[in-house]
Structure 1
Amino acid sequence: MPTITAPQPRATLSMTQVLLCGAAIVTLSMGIRHGFGLWLAPITMDRGWTRETFAFAIAIQNIAWGVAGPFAGMLADRFGAFRVLVVGALLYAAGLVGMALSTSGLAFTGSTGLLLGMAQSGTTYAVVYGVIGRNVAPEKRSWAMGVAAAAGSFGQFLMVPVENWLIGAWGWQSALFILGCLALAIAPLAAGLREPPQAAHSGPQQSIGAALKEAMAYPSFRWLMAGYFVCGFQVVFIGVHMPSYLKDKGLTPDVATTALALIGLFNVFGTYTAGVLGQRLAKRHILSAIYLARSVAITVFLLVPLSPASVYVFASVMGFLWLSTVPPTNAVVAQIFGVQYMSMLGGLVFFSHQVGSFMGVWLGGRLYDTTGSYDIVWYLAIALGVFAALANLPVRETPIVRAAARPVAA
């Protein structure tokens, strides 16, 4: 069958503008959420809740983020990212305020889970990467995605000590109010990603339904989704439960704070490196290496004697591998399917990531309350990493071959 060849979408925003505004937005949205594990102990102690109550709300947050992601991406592809980002900023602020004021597990799940999950679907990578895909030349796309991911990583490094200081200085509730105000800054930054309406419709003319059917029927897309499931399981389990795991082992809260900050710091280098390598090497090999290296890192961490030094080394290694899956995964999606529905398809593959996130964070709380230990979840994280390393090897990175089709009306 002939391949549909269409002109690359004309850039309507400068690459510098897209990267600066997109990086700032991802810095805020990812930076704020990275420190949520710091609230587990003070909230559960103050409210008299179990760890599973907190973990379940964060699990719902991740699944809500995943479910809403394809729809947020669809709206961003159809109407532009600006409106989606503004609504996401408002939901983010409302969710943080609700997180502070909730006095029941149900209300906490509604605010921390549903509201913040929907907010993150409209303020993070899928939406921002759609703008990058439409406005950055293909030969620079993987690098540009690495820059945006590195910005989100810097936000994690920056925000964790800030959030820890806010909790100590103002109390956990006031700290959430302050973060809610900070989340509103996403709205004015979104103006820098406002594209003319025609920019969102350039490229191959294909209906939304046809794009979804095509992606889900394509084996390489399903393999990417399988790998992303594992990514979500590992990083969210570690990000949320590691502070409590270290506390149970007798280490001070400062060790956990430093570890989370190191994850964010080394994530800057890891995501940027992955983006650069994605321009030169097969992305499926990069992804397989990342997942296998994670399993090795977790295994070594569990085998060596636990100390602040071993925690910092583990955090640094995992930080380098943390979100380094994001640039190559999204670049492969664009490479295979084009950029017309990139935000939607990026949101769809990210849905699998969030299903994994739900399982990782919820099982962490559930199995801890049942067994008094996180050991089983650590072992699952190792086994799943090996599976993901194998799952990415069959991915084909060449553009999909389509039968010629008549243009679809906008």
Structure 2
Amino acid sequence: MSIDKVRPVQTSVVDEPRESRIRAWSVTLVLVLLNVINWADKAVLGLVAQPLAQELGLTASQIGLVGSGFFLTFAVSGFFAGLLNKWMTLRGLMVLLSLAWAATMLPMVVVASFSVLMVARLALGMAEGPSSALVHTAVYSWHPPQKRGLPGAWIASGASLAKIAVAPALAVVVATWGWRAAFVTLAAVGAAWCGLWLVAWSEGPYIDRRPSRTAAPEKETEPQPTVRWTRIFRTPSFLGGAVAMFSVYALVSTVLTWLPSYFEVGLGYSRLQAGTMFGFPSIVGMVAMIVSTSLSDRLLDRGASSRLLRGVLPGTGLLICGLAMVALPFIGTPALAVGVVSVGYGIGAIVIPLFNAAISQICPPRQLAGTLGVFLALMSLGGLVAPYLTGVIVDAASSPAEGYASAFQVFGVTAVVASLIALLTVNPERDARRVLG
């Protein structure tokens, strides 16, 4: 049985496709904006790492420890996305989370110290952990399973947009008014988003968790099926996809925490140049994600294999990414090193929306938030290890340039191994039959 056969589809969605599509993409774009803010909150540490280190006397290992600390609480809280989705509506949850993110930006403005920085980033990780699964759940409620690649790519592109548009602006803010101004700016933007959300949000037809209390009995939807959680989590697609996402997120967290420092200290660019170039990998990633998901959604809608488009395609992208990172220490030209990091990282980014869409295909709609919460929490464990390990490698290296290149190479090898596992295991069609059949 495919997941399309168990989802409730409201008649109005079929009768008014244009209105439904406009509404769906309006809600999607509001959530993309939230994800931009989410990733800007993450990326700000990388942008202020060097001025913070100079003002507070921090080592690379300490900065890396702060980055890893964020991903510790981020991973732990991600497991509770499904539970939170049962306790509260998505409308209230998103407001609560956004205000919490804004609040965590302010302690460092008042009291700047390593301890305060660590506590604030731990709190931010705790507040942001459930958000990715909840954002995807909200977006997927407006898009059928075979068309979730492209909206998922736009959600994942929140990271790219944050680094393409927001990071250069924050770099100017830091260069002009100091690093504290960047934290204040992000706090204000996060609080302002809540008003837009309260106006825009309503739940879509594809993840309708409970029948309407006001609906006539003959119009009520049938109760949605559920399965044992272990039946989902033990599928090869879930396990192989989680391994691949772990390796991707190790690289993502390293880029967030260390890429501007690599460009500045390792390759010799100015601080403003490094902040501006921070967006280069994300430009490639955004283009790659939108092109790959548009193609896969179109072909899936015509009956193509999701094994090929949501398994082999992203697995191959991750393999290319890993090989690019492995080659980095052998590149002596700074501009070429920037290009290799950008292209490799960008192509590897297609894993995120395509594997998220694949996982949404193998679980009942009622269990989507919980499934994605666990899946993305396992992914974020890569961020727990990578930033601190990078700082240790850089401190131990003979030069910053050598240390950063060696760290990227380590994560490249990890990505190559993970890509091979994913290529052998991820098959949403097969596992949807196992789980739902």
Q: How many angstroms apart in 1 are the aligned matches of 2:183 and 2:155?
A: 25
Contact (CA 8 Å) 1:94, 1:180: kept in 2 or not? yes
Query: Is 2:232 the counterpart of 1:206?
Result: no
* 1:242 has 2:259 as partner: yes
1:127 corresponds in structure 2 to 134
Report deviation, 1:262: 1.3
Preserved CA contact (<8 Å) 2:314 2:348: no
SS at the partner of 1:273?
Answer: helix
Q: Secondary structure at the match of 1:206?
A: coil
Please say which of residues 71-80 and 39-48 is displaced more in the overlay. 71-80
CA deviation vs aligned residue, 1:197-255 (integer Å, no higher than 9, x gap): 99334773327xx33x2222223211111111101111211332222233134332234
Partner of 1:369: 395
Q: Contact 1:70–1:345 at 8 Å: present in 2 too?
A: no
CA shift digits 1:271-306 (9 cap, x unpaired) = 212322332342111221111111222234332223
Is the CA contact (8 Å cut-off) linking 1:296 and 1:382 kept in structure 2?
Answer: yes
Q: What amino acid is aligned across from residue 419 of structure 2 in structure 1? A: A
Which of residues 283, 288, 307 in structure 2 aligns to 1:270? 288
1:163-182: CA deviation from partner (whole Å, max 9, x where unpaired): 10110111111221121111
Partner Cα distance (2:58, 2:345) in 1: 30
- TM-score normalised by L of structure 2: 0.83
Distance in 1, matches of 2:116 and 2:426, equals 42
**Alignment match, 1:6:** 6
Given that residues 145 and 357 in structure 2 are in contact (C-alpha distance below 8 angstroms), is that contact kept between their aligned partners in structure 1? no
1:268/1:31 Cα in 2 relative to 1: closer, same or farther (>3 Å)? farther
Amino acid at match of 2:363: F
Q: Identify if the C-alpha distance between structure 1 residues 73 and 18 changes in structure 2 by more than 3 Å, giving closer, same or farther.
A: farther
Correspondence for 1:395:
426
The two structures, once aligned, show a CA RMSD in angstroms of 2.6
Partner amino acid for 2:257?
A: V
Q: Supply the AA of the counterpart residue of 2:209.
A: A
Query: Matched residues in 2 for 1:77 and 1:24: separation?
Result: 24
Could you say what secondary structure the match of 1:131 adopts? Answer: helix
2:235 aligned to which of 206, 212, 218: 218
Measured at CA, do residues 402 and 28 of structure 1 come closer, stay the same or move farther in structure 2, by a change above 3 Å? Answer: closer
Q: 2:178 aligns with which of 171, 181, 189?
A: 171
Q: In 2 relative to 1, CA 350–145 (structure 1 residues): closer, same or farther, beyond 3 Å?
A: same
Question: How does 1:2-81 map onto structure 2 within 5 Å?
Answer: 5-10=5-10, 14-76=23-85, 79-81=88-90
Partner of 1:304: 331
Gaps of 5+ in 2: 14-19, 212-222, 300-307
1:115 aligns with 2:146: no
Q: How far, CA to CA, are the matches of 1:118 and 1:320 in structure 2?
A: 27
Could you tell me how far 1:51 is from its partner in structure 2? Answer: 1.9
Preserved CA contact (<8 Å) 1:301 1:310:
no
Q: Give 1:402 deviation, angstroms.
A: 4.5
- 1:297–1:314 Cα contact (<8 Å) kept: yes
Gaps of 5+ in 1: 405-410
Q: Does 1:349 align with 2:375?
A: yes
Normalising by structure 1, we get a TM-score of: 0.88
1:149 matched to 2:156? The reply is yes
For 1:257, which of 264, 275, 299 is the aligned residue? Answer: 275
Partner of residue 94 from structure 1, selected from 90, 103, 112: 103
Is 1:193 paired with 2:181? no
Number of aligned pairs?
A: 397
Distance 2:365 2:344 in 1: 30
CA shift for structure 1 position 151: 4.2
Counterpart CA distance in 2 for 1:58 and 1:98 is 17
Instruction: Give, in whole Å, the separation in 2 of the partners of 1:20 and 1:290.
Output: 26
Shift of 1:371: 3.7
CA contact (8 A) 1:88 1:118 kept: no
Report the identity percentage. Answer: 19
Counterparts of 1:260-339 in structure 2, within 5 Å, are 260-279=278-297, 280=299, 281-307=308-334, 309-321=335-347, 323-339=349-365
One-letter code aligned to 1:365 = G
Between structure 1 and structure 2, the one with the greater Rg is: 2
